[in-house]
């Protein structure tokens, strides 16, 4: 059974990963399909060195894994549930933002 410390550690690691827009973009890209670092760098428009640093952070957070493929390495989400979590989190944040926008508009009699 998870403890509070374990729960906090997991959420802290997830928050750390999401704290940077490039890491968010990496996670969203890997949610669609595994990818090689060179392809990720090209897709995201970042240098391979910068991408490598972000991938190291995501590996340290336990969110992505490196899968050797001969002389190349493919990256993917560590667990498929992370993709669902990203979708759920994004949907929840957008729903709250929409509700908030509507509530702000109602306060100003804009709706």
For residue 85, is it within any domain?
Answer: no
pLDDT tens digits, residue range 12-71?
989 999 999 999 999 999 999 999 999 999 999 999 999 999 999 999 999 999 999 999
From residue 79, alpha-carbon distances to 20, 45, 49 in Å are: 20, 25, 25
The mean-pLDDT minimum among 35-44, 87-96, 102-111 falls in: 102-111
For residue 60, is it within any domain?
Answer: yes
For residue 111, name the pLDDT band (cuts at 50, 70, 90): very low
Structure confidence at residue 106 (pLDDT): 59
For residue 25, is it within any domain?
Answer: yes
- What range does the domain containing 66 cover? 4-78
For residue 14, is it within any domain?
Answer: yes
Number of domains within the chain:
1
For residue 90, is it within any domain?
Answer: no
For residue 101, is it within any domain?
Answer: no
Q: CATH code at 39? A: 1.10.10.10
Q: Looking at the whole model, is its pTM more than 0.85? A: no
For residue 111, is it within any domain?
Answer: no
79-101 burial, b at 16+ Cβ within 10 Å, e below that, comes to eeebbebbeeeeeeeeeeeeeee
């Amino acid at each position: 059974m998870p403890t509070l410390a374990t729960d906090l550690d997991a959420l802290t690691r997830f928050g750390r990963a999401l704290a940077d827009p490039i890491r968010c973009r990496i996670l969203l890209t890997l949610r669609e399909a595994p990818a090689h670092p060179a392809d990720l760098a090209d897709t995201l428009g970042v240098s391979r060195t910068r991408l490598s640093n972000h991938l190291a952070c995501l590996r340290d957070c336990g969110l992505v894994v490196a899968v050797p493929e001969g002389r190349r390495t493919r990256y993917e989400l560590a667990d498929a549930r992370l993709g669902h979590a990203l979708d759920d989190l994004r949907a929840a944040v957008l729903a709250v933002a929409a509700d908030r926008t509507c509530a702000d508009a109602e306060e100003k009699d804009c709706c």
